[in-house]
Amino acid sequence: MIDLYFAPTPNGWKITIMLEECALPYRVVPVNLGKGDQFKPDFLRISPNNRMPAIVDDEAPGGPISIFESGAILVYLAEKTGRFMPAELHARFDVLQWLFWQVGGLGPMGGQLSHFVNYAPGGPGQHAYSHTRYKNEYDRLFAVMERDLADKPYLAGEYSIADMAAWPWLVPYKRFEQSMDDYPNVRRWFDAVKTRPAVQRGMEVGKDLRRPQGEMSEEQRRIMFGQTGRDVLKDLRGKADS
């Protein structure tokens, strides 16, 4: 059994999709971001970056293993099951480069755009430069996918963890005022992934945990967005002073 420490975000849904695709048994452990569950000592031992998702696999060879960072989790699950990541060198690194493209580009840019659309005080109108910066980059990354998908059905040719990683970050494209009209290859790919039963099941996970749009108290905002390095190290400094 795999314990999945989860919040209903694109990074969380990457993992639920992979778990469903592989038919692996798992248990969802909700992590409430607004209440600060991500800062609890027990969770930090699993995910020192206090971010979701993270997993604990009690059935790993050699004993239980905990893994944080969604890209690392996808690679682990692919290697555990022998699925959705080829063994052949060239094909394997085609998958890995698109996975890292997502974790280093599409995810962070989409995440920052989401912040200015959904969470920044005053909305996008008060942060015009930042909003435009991330909106343009999100659009540029659509174009990168469009060009890549011109002659193949999926990002690395065959359906893989690269597609599972990228797809959830396109789900909110309408809310980000992004159009697919100029990206027919992206639209074809997006619709093909959407029809997979495992993807549909994975996206249903945590539906009851989703916070209604726009509802966030100042305390929740502080917990989610106000952390500094001093906050990360406060327990360590407290021990040093005692």
Quick: pLDDT tens for 103-116: 999 999 999 998 88
Asked if residue 105 belongs to a domain, the reply is yes
Cβ pair 4, 17 in contact under 8 A: no
Asked if residue 189 belongs to a domain, the reply is yes
Asked if residue 209 belongs to a domain, the reply is no
Asked if residue 20 belongs to a domain, the reply is no
184-187 contacts at long range (C-beta below 8 A, 24 or more positions apart)? 184/146, 185/145, 185/146, 185/149, 185/150, 186/142, 186/145, 186/146, 186/149
Task: State pLDDT tens for residues 150-201.
Answer: 999 999 999 999 999 999 999 999 999 899 999 999 999 999 999 999 999 9
Domain count, the chain: 1
The encoded tokens of residue 9 equal: 């975000």
pTM summary value: 0.88
Asked if residue 144 belongs to a domain, the reply is yes
Q: Strands 26-30 and 2-6: what pairing?
A: parallel
Asked if residue 165 belongs to a domain, the reply is yes
Task: State pLDDT tens for residues 8-42.
Answer: 999 999 999 999 999 999 999 998 877 888 888 88
Q: What phi, psi does 156 have (nearest 5°)?
A: -115, 25
Burial of 7 (C-beta count, 10 Å sphere; 0-12/13-18/19+): buried
Task: State pLDDT tens for residues 192-242.
Answer: 999 999 999 999 998 888 765 556 566 666 655 666 677 667 665 555 554
The CA-based angle 154-165-156, given to 5 degrees, is 25
Can you give the CATH number for the domain in which 191 is found?
A: 1.20.1050.10
Asked if residue 214 belongs to a domain, the reply is no
For position 242, what pLDDT does the model report? 47
Which domain covers residue 103, as residue numbers? 89-200
Asked if residue 72 belongs to a domain, the reply is no
CA distances from 51 to 82, 91, 105, 118, 180 (A): 27, 30, 17, 19, 30
